[in-house]
Structure 1
Amino acid sequence: MGSNGVILGAIALVFIVMQIMKGRGTSGKIARGSVSGGAEKSRARKRAIAQLKAKKHNSVALYIGSLRRNKQGKPRNAKALYLPDVQRGVAIAGGPGSGKTYSAINPLIRAALDEGMPALVYDFKYPGQAECLVAYAARRGYDVRIFAPGYPESEVCNILDFMADADDALMARQIASVMNRNFARSSNSSEDKFFADAGDQLTQAILMLAKGMPNPDLMTASAVLGLDALPARIMEGKRLGELGSLPQGWHISHWVYYAFSQLLQLKDSEKTVAGVIGTASKVFSRFMAPELISTFCGQTTLPIELSGKQLVILGLDRRRREAVAPLVATVLHMMVTMNVTKKRSDPLLLAIDELPTLYLPYLTQWLNENRSDGLCTVIGFQNITQLEDAYKREQARAILGGCATKVLFNPQDPDSARMFSDYLGEEEVMIKQKSRSSGGKGGASHSTSDHLQKRPIVEPAQFNRLPVGRCVLISPGFCRKDETSIPLISSIKVPKADVLDDDWSVKTWPKVKAKLEARTPQSLGDSDRARQEIAIRMAIAAELLPLPVDGEGAEASGGRFDGGVPSILPTPKAGARVINAAALMEFTEAF
């Protein structure tokens, strides 16, 4: 009994030790990855509904699939895919035809419109998204405005209206930097760093100077940049302004003159000056076409500070991409800057499909720093290779890391598939192995053993085989007790009601477009009128920035502008007027 008792005690001890090791959680696991199921989706739904009910500007939820609500207004559509905490950024990746726009981006925009959020949408394939969204928003009481240079339905956005006055060097620098970087990208040009930086500085100075002149717009800036002997004219204009010898007391302020300091230091090197001016002139020369001038010259009618039921769509004319992309990128950049630097009472949806077609230098800051300000950013791109080509590797990874919610469709790219697979991690899998042995008097014997192994949750090859609409979705709402952002593998099915709404909006677009064209504020679309306006601005620029008459810089005599210089009106404050949301009641007959 003594030996048997020792053996039984040893067996019991081993059993207890095994149970203790098993109870220590996952410390013995060889892989800890897992996927979401019904419980995780239920938790995401519960949190999203709470956020929808609270309606806070910095705690926002959206959904894919229209919601049905009860009499108390509470959502009761369990089939919708709920995404809480979208203010933490949403990245949607998928190659052409994978379903990222139709299955994810457009449904999220429609959800924001259903919730009454103001929205700013970039439409790369204009009017591709506009057709699906404009009538849908108008029927829900939205004031819809479109800025699409080259199209008759476009509003006017004078970029210089983003500057408070001629001394607003910071805003001028932002405008110059975004315009020039996007021009370099759209034209696939590479420039010497010195001339690129000097071109930015000169563009900034020209914008500041034009802001203080009659007719402050990009046409005036282009006219100034086209003057011969520009350094000498700037110096002479400064001297005559201080003497009070220019029309209506016009003068160059100290801060504007200081912005030209680099150009003035180079004045003795004609070739260098010509190179710097040529670098800055490349951007402005692309805009000088009648169909484009009419959308960025004149009084701004595009709402800049968005609130309530307002939808602004920035459309890109791909036929004129090289000229239009820098302008659209600048307007988008400045609009977001104006909206996130003030205290908001409601969230703002920023939706940018095909992100790599624009260069937005502050995008990382928007994602990581402005989520608490109510900015809800939804970005779309085809694959990580495309994103890194546009934003470089480090910034592309920072952009992706700044989005807590990720919707990953078929990237059609092996590098992206490997990256996404590594991001999801590995999971444990139990492999049963059967063995058969023969020999001896007992004959053959069979045995089964279990082997614990690990494998990727989604293999790279699986990513590149995902069918249309099927994706891996990562959201902070998919959580357990001690884990969050647990991936969900799902096929997104757009509800029939949403499909019908989408078809109706596309069908109604021609009628709404005609209404938008009828109310357009563009006034310079006529070629003769555009030529006249350019000639007037060139004459005014030559009048206010005359060449020195002699070597001593004697005062210039006589005017160069027949008819005198127009009155210098006070420059408007940055930001356009907010338009009454009831303005689109005129579209009711189109529905």
Structure 2
Amino acid sequence: MSLGEVTSLGGIIIKLIKSIFVFALLASPIIVEFHLFYFSCLHFLGIDYHGYLEPSFSGHMYSSFLFSFEKLFEKSSVLIDILTMLVIGAILYISFYYTKSKKFPRVIVGILINNSILYVSLALLLFLFSKQITHNTSITYIYNLLLILTLGIIALAGFLIYKKKHKRNTKPEKFTAAVKKTQESEFVFKTNSGDIHLKNPYRGIFIQGGAGSGKSVSLFEPIIKQIGKAGFTGILYDFKSPELTNKLKISYQKSNVKVYNIDFKHPYLSQRANPIDPKYLIKSAVAIEYAQVLINNLIPETIKKNDFWTNNAKMILAGVIWYLRNEYPEKCTIPHTISLILHNSVNELIEKVSQDYEAGGMVASLRESIERGSEKTVAGMLSTLQNALSILNSQDIFWILSGNDVDLHLNNPENPSMLCLGNDSTLPGVYSPIISLITAVSLKQMNRPNQEKSIILLDEAPTIFIPNIEQIPATARSNRIATVFGVQDMSQLIDKYGKDKSEVIISNLGNQFFGRTTNTKTGEMIQHVFSKTDKVFVSKSEGSGTNGKFIHLGSNMNEGFSENVQERDRVKVRDLINLSSGEFYGIIAEGTPREFLKVQFEKGEIDEIYIDQRIPINDVIMKDNYFRIIKECKDIFLHTKQKDYSVN
């Protein structure tokens, strides 16, 4: 063996000895910690560990080492045991937390080094304090000092655990500095990120949120509060009457705007309206349009496709309405129209309606079928209409629609009014056709220039169908009509209006709020609204090299960083599914902020309780009204016969 090889081998041995010494030095605190933790656990659990001191136990020095730990914990309290376990766990976690690399085996080396540094720091701190200790210092002072250090270490570890756990839960982004409300028609919503200012509600508001998403308390009720103060006129459609209706009545208590309530859930307390009053039927085309509203809601499949039977049913209905408008204006109501069609023969009905040329033209197809003797065709046309109208042939509907308490020109400056339309959520299909008709008639009266500011507030909007509603937000904004369109899920809207019209409705509503949904398709639609964003990703690479011929003692490490930009969705479907009540995403057409992501809205509940003091009618009044209308319709035909007879 040459001298150079001997020298190299000697250097390796010296390095090996140094490495072992350094490792033993760094590992000694861990060994002590392990035994402290072990013995404190045994003492806390009441387990006898004197077996370690039996003569058969191997290693005299180690037995003495264990004996010292036994003496240390022999008279310790349970509190000392708990604190010992906690502080050792805390020291190890702190050592792990501050390691640069979490990969094995470097994490072990990092823990050993950090652990030793921590112990040296604690020892130095105790040494500095010991300089201040005199012979007169009590033992209690020393114990208190150790207790403070122990609790400090445990608190630091707890803070680091909390910090790591909530690392991704960033604080909500705060909006820009609050601005004052600048105009009366502006809506303001309170959130944990600041106020949302919606400056132009006339550009329409779309609100989506499933059951329990907080639509009512976060958005609808704050809007109701503010429209009451601002004196808006218009319509509130209350699907779960009288929840929102009572809130609105409270908000309008000090307003000059009159509040009316047509409530199909509580007809005995309801006010009355006639949506086909002759003053609303200025043209025969209007009668056809209103007949279309009824048919679409009574026979929902006609919304997407009209067939021969339903088209003729619509024209027969329009013909009867137009006939009553011209010949019996005082009887031009929906109940009279229904009674004429359901309680009289088709031949007499068509003969009577045909006396008016314009109305006769509407029923020409049915009249021709009768003249040709096409009984099946006649039966098909009439049965389609009669089956649909029979749903409305009830005493409560006849009562509500045979009076005229409410002028549906709601935003008339001379008579500003707010109309609440209450549905019965247990029977929505029965009353939705009439509610849709009243809404459609009101919109036609309201959508004209130089009227009072107004709002169409539709809760659960897909439960009714209003033809051409998709055009209202676009055409009515110039006439100061705000549209608030609330839905639980996009699928409801598509089911009612179809995909194309649904897209038009949403696109024409410039202010949009999106709450919790469990429908992944709805989530994907919302995801596309907020599009994607460029996100920078940083990747870290690590490498190491070693030297030494026989044993790798020396090493070197190197690190590298690289960045790349990728497109990522700003809103994820799972985020929408996991939203809490009152959390919304949104975009604002005019106002601040222009958009917001996952913002918690404050509850804007109206806490007062409204007590309705109106005196209800009774069953006798409602029943008498029903049979009176039927009799009046029969008298129309009786009068006709007598008149024809006298002429002859």
TM-score by length of 1: 0.72
The structure whose residues are more often helix, as a share, is 2
In structure 2, the partner of 1:124 is 239
* Match status 1:317 vs 2:424: yes
Question: One-letter code of the match for 1:49?
Answer: K
Which position in structure 1 is the counterpart of 2:209? 94
Alignment of 1:205-220 (within 5 A): 205-211=319-325, 212-213=327-328, 214-220=330-336
* Structure 1 counterpart of 2:199: 84
SS at match of 1:556: helix
Amino acid at match of 2:461: L
RMSD between superposed Cα atoms in Å: 3.2
> Compared with structure 1, are the counterparts of its residues 459 and 531 closer, same or farther at alpha carbon in structure 2 (3 Å cutoff)?
closer
Match of residue 503 from structure 1: 607
Q: How does 1:10-409 map to 2 (within 5 A)?
A: 38=174, 41-42=176-177, 49-52=181-184, 60-65=185-190, 79-149=194-264, 150-161=266-277, 163-164=279-280, 168-185=283-300, 193-211=307-325, 212-213=327-328, 214-226=330-342, 228-231=344-347, 233-235=349-351, 252-267=355-370, 268-307=373-412, 310-340=417-447, 342-409=448-515
Moved more, 298-307 or 127-136: 298-307
Whether contact under 8 Å (1:227, 1:542) holds in the other structure is no
1:490 to 599, 602, 606: 599
Aligned partner of 2:400: which letter? Answer: T
| Counterpart amino acid of residue 529 in structure 1 | D
Residue 514 of structure 1: aligned partner: 613
**1:540 is matched with which residue: 635, 641, 645?**
635
Cα deviation, residue 227, structure 1: 5.3
Task: Give the Cα separation in 2 of the matches to 1:558 and 1:162.
Answer: 29
Residue-by-residue CA offset, 1:458-509 (whole Å, 9 max, x unaligned): 1111111111111112002357xxxx94444311012xxx44xx121xx2x2
1:103-158 Cα shifts (integer Å, max 9, x gaps): 11221122111112213100000011112221221244442110113522211111
Aligned-residue sequence identity (percent) comes to: 17
Secondary structure of the residue aligned to 1:526 is helix
**Letter matched to residue 258 of structure 1:** G
Question: What's the CA shift string for 1:59-110, capped at 9, x where partnerless?
Answer: x4212259xxxxxxxxxx9954211221111100010000112211221122
Task: Report what 1:444 is aligned to.
Answer: 557
Deviations 1:26-76 (A, max 9, x none): xxxxxxxxxx9656x55xx65x83343xxxxxxx4212259xxxxxxxxxx
Q: Distance in 2 between matches of 1:477 and 1:37?
A: 20
1:404-429 deviations in whole A, cap 9, x for unaligned?
Answer: 11001112211011111121011222
Matched-pair contact (CA < 8 Å) for 1:351–1:379: yes
Structure 1 gap segments, 5+ residues each: 1-35, 53-59, 67-76, 239-251, 548-553, 560-591
Q: Secondary structure at the match of 2:602?
A: coil
Counterparts of 1:85 and 1:237 in 2: how far apart (Å)? 48
1:63 is paired with a residue whose SS is strand
Q: How many residues align structurally?
A: 464
Higher relative contact order (CA 8 A, sep 6+): 1
Rounded to whole Å, the distance in 2 between the matches of 1:437 and 1:236 is 98
CA contact (8 A) 2:296 2:302 kept: no
2:584 counterpart SS class = strand
> Partner letter of residue 527 of structure 2?
S
Q: Quick check: 1:425–1:456 contact (8 Å CA) kept in 2?
A: yes
- Judged with a 3 Å threshold, the aligned counterparts in structure 2 of structure 1 residues 545 and 221 are, in CA distance, closer, same or farther, namely farther
Residues 190, 601 of structure 2: 8 Å contact kept: no
SS of match in other structure, 1:444: strand
Write out per-residue CA displacement over residues 388-445 of structure 1, whole angstroms, 9 at most, x where no aligned residue: 1111111111111111110011122110111111210112222221111123667321
Normalised TM-score (structure 2): 0.66
Structure 1 pair 111–410 and aligned structure 2 pair: CA distance change class (3 A): same
2:533 & 2:288 partners in 1: Cα distance?
Answer: 50
Q: Which runs of 5+ in 2 are unaligned?
A: 1-171, 548-554
In the alignment, residue 404 of structure 2 is paired with which amino acid? Q
